[in-house]
Structure 1
Amino acid sequence: MAEEVLIEPNGKSGGHLTTSLLAVAFLSSFGSSMLYGYNLAVVNSPAEYIKDFYNQTIVRRNGSGVDEETLILIYSVTVSIFAIGGLVGSLTVGMQVTRFGRDDHHWALHYGDTFRDFSQRSAHVLGEIAPKNLRGFLGLVPSIFICIGVFIAQILGLHEILGKEEHWPLFLSLVVVPTFIQLMLLPWFPESPRYLLMEKRNIHATITALKWYRAKCNIQAEVEEMQEEQRSLSSVETVSVLQLFRDPSVRWQLVTVLVVNAGMQLSGIDAIWFYTNAIFENAGIAAHQIQYTTVGTGAIEVIAGLIGCFTIERVGRRPLMIGGFSFMGVCCAGITFSLLLQAHVPFMRYVSVACVVGIIAGFCIGPAGVPFLMTGELFKQSYRPSAYIVGGFLNWISNFTVGFVFPFLQMSAGAFCYLVFCGVCVGVAAYVFFIIPETKNKTFVEISQMFALRNACEIENQPLGTTDQLRLKKMNGYGALVSEDVDKMDRTEK
C-alpha cells in the first residue's frame, strides 16, 4: 500500500485557508445565516402594507377595524414570531448535531433552517472544521452573511424593486431559494473531522476529512489535539442541560454564554433592524429619503462585518467584543440625546442617523458573530451540545422580547428607551473586560484550563503516554493508524 506522509517536513502545524474550507463556510452561511439576516430586515419595508392587510382583513370579518395599539400588537407579534421557531430549533440543536452530524447531508442544518436556528449552527460547524489559527475568521463568516442578508432585504425592499404593496408576499417568500441551493450542494462536503473522531471514532474518515479541508497541515498534530480532548472525556458522557447548570467546573463558561448571548440581542440591534424606517421617521428624515438611507446603513454594516472578520485573528476576540459593545452603548446614548434636542437643533436628525449607523457598525464588527464562536470555544466536546441549547434559547427569547416589546417601550419611554440598550451594552462590555480571557489561537483544552482557576477546580491535562503516541506515517488496510514502532516490527518479521 502506498505510504501516505501525514507530517510536514518542518513538523509545524500549518493552518491554511483552502478553497474547500472557504467553500463550506460560504455555502453553509449562504443557506442559513443569510436567511436569518434577511428575516430580520424583510418586515421593515412592507410594515405599513402588512398593517393595512391586517386591518382590512379584520374589517371584512368583523365589519370594523381595530385601534392603533391593537394593530401595533399584532404587527409586533408578526415581526418577532420567527424567533419562536428559532427557539424550538435551539432546544433540539444539541441532540440533532450529536446524533446526525454537523453537516447538511445529515440534515441537521436543514432542520435548523426550518426553525431559523441559523447562525449558531453555521458557527458551530465552521469552528470545528477550522484550524485554530483560522477559527475566528471562519467563525465570523456567518455574521458577514447576516449582514449581507439584511442588505439584500433592504435593496429588494426599495419601491422600485419589491417595495410595492402588491409584491410584499413574494418579498417575504424568497427565503426558499438559498435553502434549496444549500440542500443540493452541501451533501458533497465531508463531516467535521472532530465529530468523526470524537463521536464516531472513525480515524480513517477523520484523516480523509482533514486532508480534504486542509491542503497543507500537520495531521498528526491535529489528531493528537483531538485525542487529548477525547482522552480527557473518555469516561464522560455528553452532559444534559441540567448537568451543565450543576457542574461547577464550567460555571464561568456557562455564565459567559448567558451574558454574551442575551446581551447580543438585548443590545437593541434587533429593534434597529426591525424598525429602521420608523426610527428614521421619528428622527425627522423625509419620507422619500428613508428607504435609501436604510440601504446605506446596510452597505455600512457589510463593510463593518468584513472588518471584523479580517481582523479577529490579529486583534483577538476580546477587543472586538469590548469595542463593539462599548461603541454601541455610546451610540444608543447618542440617539437619546439627539432625539431630545432635534426640536431645537435641526441638524440633530443627522446625528440620529449617524448613531443608528454606529450601532449597526459596532454590532457587525464583533458582537454579531463572536458570541456564537465563543459558545463553541469555551466548552469541550461533551458540553457543547447543551451549551448551544442554552445559548440558542437565550438568543431567541431575547430576540422575541426585543421585537415584541420595543414599539410599546418606544411609545411609553420615547427617546429614553435607547438608554435601556445603552446600559445592556456597557454591562456586557464590562463583563468581557473583567471576566473573559482571550481565546485566540488556543486549543479547546487550553481554554478549559484558563477557566479552571476561576472555577476553583482542576483540569486534568495528562501528557500523551508512550502507548498513545501515534506516529501518523501511514494507514493499514483496515483504516486504523499504526505507530512507527509497530510498523518496524511488522517489517522485521516479514
Structure 2
Amino acid sequence: DNNGNKILASKSCSLTPSLLAVAFLSSFGSSMLYGYNLAVVNSPAQYIKQFYNQTIVARNGTSQNDEALTLFYSVTVSVFAIGGMIGSLMVGMLVTRFGRKGTLVRITYLVFIAGALMGFSRMFASPEMIITGRFITGLHSGISLSVVPMYLGEIAPKNLRGFLGLVPSIFICLGVFVAQILGLHELLGKEEHWPLFLSLVVIPTTIQLMLLPWFPESPRYLLIEKKNVHATITGEDGVNIQAEIEEMQEEQRSMSSVETVSVIGLLRDRSVRWQVITVVVVNIGMQLSGIDAIWFYTNAIFENAGIPLPEIQYTTVGTGAIEVIAGCIGCFTIERLGRKPLMIGGFTFMGICCAGITLSLLFQVHYISVACVVGIIAGFCIGPAGVPFLMTAELFKQSHRPAAYIVAGCLNWMSNFTVGFVFPFLQMSAGAYCYLVFFGVCMAVAVYVFFIIPETKNKTFVEISQMFAAMNGTLEEESTELGHNLKLTKMNGYGAIDMENGVIEKNK
C-alpha cells in the first residue's frame, strides 16, 4: 500500500493450502472449543456434584440435599450460555478495533485463564473456580462463534464461501465428539480425572495462538475499514487478484459510509430490513428447533428405549460420530446444492423426526424414538447448524456485518438459554406433545427460507444486497469514489496495491 506494506493474495477460484489452513486453524482453536464445552460437563456430572457437596461439608459442616446440588450443577452448566450471550454483545467493538484475526488471537488468553481455574479448582477446594471458568469459556465461545464465520466469509472467494463457512460447524461437531470419547470411563470419565478433563481446552488454544498470528487479516477489513491493506492469503506466483480487489472496491462504493453501523442503526436501517428479519428467524429457529433439548435428554431417551445403562455412553458417542459425518456432508455439498436446499431439507427432516418422537412416545415404540433422535441430530448438522452463521456474513455489507453478528449471536444464546430453562416445564405440562412445538418451529422456518430467502451461492456481497433491495423497497446508490484508487503492481512475485495511482493492474 502507500505505506510500503506488501500484499499477498490467493486465487479467486481455487482452494489454496493457505486458505484451507487458516480455516482449519481458526475453527480448531475456537469453534471446536464451543462443541467441547457443550458436552464436557455431561460425563463427570456426578463427580462434580460430589465435589460440591464435599466442599460445602468442609466449609459449613452440613451436607446438601439433591435439590441444592442439582441447582449448583445447573448453574455450572447454564453460566456457559450467560457468558456466551455477553461475549456476543462484545463482537462489534472487538472486530472493529482489533480486526477479525486480531480478535481471535487476543481472546485466546480467556481460555488459558478458564483452563487454569477449572484445572486447579479441586486443589483449592473451590466450586467458584469451576463456575467462573465455565463463564469465561462461554465468553470466549460467544465471541468466537461470530468472529470465525465472519473472518472466513470475508477471506473466502465467493465460490468457496459456503464450503469454508461450514468448516466451523464441522469443528463444533468434532468438539462434541472428542468430549464424548474422552468422557468414556476407560479414558477421563473417572473421578480423579475430571479437573484435567475440563481444562484440556488449553491445548487447541495453544496451537492456535502459536500459528494463527502468522496468517493474514481479513482483506475487506483492512481495505474497506482501515484503508491500510497489510496482507491477504498467501498464494502462488502469478496469481490474478484483480477481480477480488474490484469486488471489494465495488462493495466500498456501494456503501454510504465505511463506518461500522451500531445495532440500533442496523435495526433502524430500512435498506436491510428483510436481512435483519432473516437473521432473526434463522437464528431463533436454529435453537428453538429442539436440538438443545435432544442433546440434553439423549441419555434419558436411550434409557427409555431399553438400552442397557452401561452401553448408553457408547451409544452417545455413536451419535457424536453421526454429527461429524453429517457436518462433513453439508460442508462438501453446499457449493453444489446451495444454501437454501440444506436449510430447507435440514429443518424439514428435523420437524418430521420431532413428530416421530411424539408418535413413538404415544405408542410406546421406543426404537423409533432412537432413530428420530439420530435423525434430528443429522438433519441439524447438515444445514441448520452452520448455514445461519454463514448467511449472517453473506446478507450484509462490511459496515453492517459486525452489528448483524451481535444481533445473531445474542438471539442465539438467549434462545439456547430459554430452551434449557423452559423445556423441563414444557415436558411436564405437554408430555409427549411437547415435541410438536419443535415440529411447528422447524416447518415454519423451512417455509420462510423457501419463500423469502434468495439463493446466495456464488454471489458477491453487493449482488446479494441488490437481490434484497427490491424486497426492502430501496434502490442501491453508488457512493462517492475513494479518495485514493488502487493500483496492483508486482512485488517479490506477488500482487501489491499502490494507493497513489488511479488504475488497477494485474500481476504479470
Shorter-normalised TM-score: what interval? 0.7 to 0.9
Contact 2:162 2:390 in 1 (8 A): yes
1:21 aligns with 2:19: yes
Q: What is the aligned partner in structure 1 of residue 154 from structure 2?
A: 128
Q: Within 5 A, what are the aligned runs for 1:179-198?
A: 179-198=205-224
Partners of 1:478 and 1:372 in 2: CA distance: 31
SS of 1:380 mapped into structure 2: coil
Which of residues 189, 192, 203 in structure 2 aligns to 1:166? 192
Partners of 2:445 and 2:71 in 1: CA distance: 30
Q: What is the aligned partner in structure 2 of residue 355 from structure 1?
A: 372
Greater mean alpha carbon deviation, residues 213-222 or residues 446-455: 213-222
1:423 aligns with 2:421: no
Partners of 1:59 and 1:331 in 2: CA distance: 45
1:38 aligns with 2:36: yes
1:391 aligns with 2:411: no
Partners of 1:73 and 1:31 in 2: CA distance: 31
Equivalenced residue count is: 469
Q: Report the TM-score, using the length of structure 2 for normalisation.
A: 0.85
Paired AA for residue 280 in structure 2:
L
1:66 aligns with 2:88: no
1:166 shift after superposition = 2.8
SS of 1:31 mapped into structure 2: helix
1:178 aligns with 2:204: yes
Q: What is the aligned partner in structure 2 of residue 91 from structure 1?
A: 89
Paired AA for residue 245 in structure 2:
V
What are the Cα deviations for residues 384-428 of structure 1, in whole angstroms up to 9, with x where unaligned? 111111111111111222223333433443322222222221111
Contact 1:102 1:108 in 2 (8 A): no
Q: Within 5 A, what are the aligned runs for 1:261-340?
A: 261-340=283-362
Partners of 1:45 and 1:248 in 2: CA distance: 48
1:281 shift after superposition = 2.0
Paired AA for residue 84 in structure 2:
G
Q: Report the TM-score, using the length of structure 1 for normalisation.
A: 0.87
1:410 aligns with 2:427: yes
Partners of 1:75 and 1:278 in 2: CA distance: 18
Listed as ranges, the gaps of 5+ residues in structure 1 are 343-347, 488-494
Partners of 1:485 and 1:247 in 2: CA distance: 33
1:43 shift after superposition = 1.9
SS of 2:43 mapped into structure 1: coil
Q: 1:103 to 1:484 in 2, by over 3 A?
A: closer
SS of 2:187 mapped into structure 1: coil
Q: What is the aligned partner in structure 2 of residue 221 from structure 1?
A: 243
Root-mean-square deviation over aligned CA pairs: 3.0
What are the Cα deviations for residues 118-170 of structure 1, in whole angstroms up to 9, with x where unaligned? 33221111111000000000000000000100100111111111112332222
SS of 1:209 mapped into structure 2: coil
1:200 aligns with 2:226: yes
Partners of 1:477 and 1:43 in 2: CA distance: 49
Contact 1:232 1:460 in 2 (8 A): yes
What are the Cα deviations for residues 60-101 of structure 1, in whole angstroms up to 9, with x where unaligned? 636353354x55444333222101111111101011001101
Q: 1:47 to 1:228 in 2, by over 3 A?
A: same
Partners of 1:481 and 1:320 in 2: CA distance: 45
Q: Within 5 A, what are the aligned runs for 1:112-151?
A: 114=137, 115=139, 116-117=141-142, 118-151=144-177
Which of residues 372, 386, 392 in structure 1 aligns to 2:389? 372
Q: 1:106 to 1:140 in 2, by over 3 A?
A: closer
SS of 2:277 mapped into structure 1: helix
Q: 1:43 to 1:406 in 2, by over 3 A?
A: farther
Partners of 2:51 and 2:372 in 1: CA distance: 32
Contact 2:344 2:447 in 1 (8 A): yes
Q: 1:463 to 1:327 in 2, by over 3 A?
A: farther
Which of residues 495, 498, 501 in structure 2 aligns to 1:482? 501
Q: What is the aligned partner in structure 2 of residue 490 from structure 1?
A: none
Partners of 2:39 and 2:297 in 1: CA distance: 8
1:340 shift after superposition = 2.3
SS of 1:238 mapped into structure 2: coil
Which of residues 186, 209, 212 in structure 1 aligns to 2:232? 209
Paired AA for residue 40 in structure 1:
L
1:265 shift after superposition = 1.3
Contact 1:323 1:362 in 2 (8 A): yes
Contact 2:486 2:504 in 1 (8 A): no
1:455 aligns with 2:472: yes
SS of 1:160 mapped into structure 2: coil
Listed as ranges, the gaps of 5+ residues in structure 2 are 1-5, 112-136
Partners of 2:41 and 2:363 in 1: CA distance: 30
Q: What is the aligned partner in structure 1 of residue 118 from structure 2?
A: none
Percent identity for Structure 1 against Structure 2: 73
Q: What is the aligned partner in structure 2 of residue 103 from structure 1?
A: 101
Paired AA for residue 251 in structure 1:
R
Partners of 2:285 and 2:452 in 1: CA distance: 15
Q: What is the aligned partner in structure 1 of residue 253 from structure 2?
A: 231
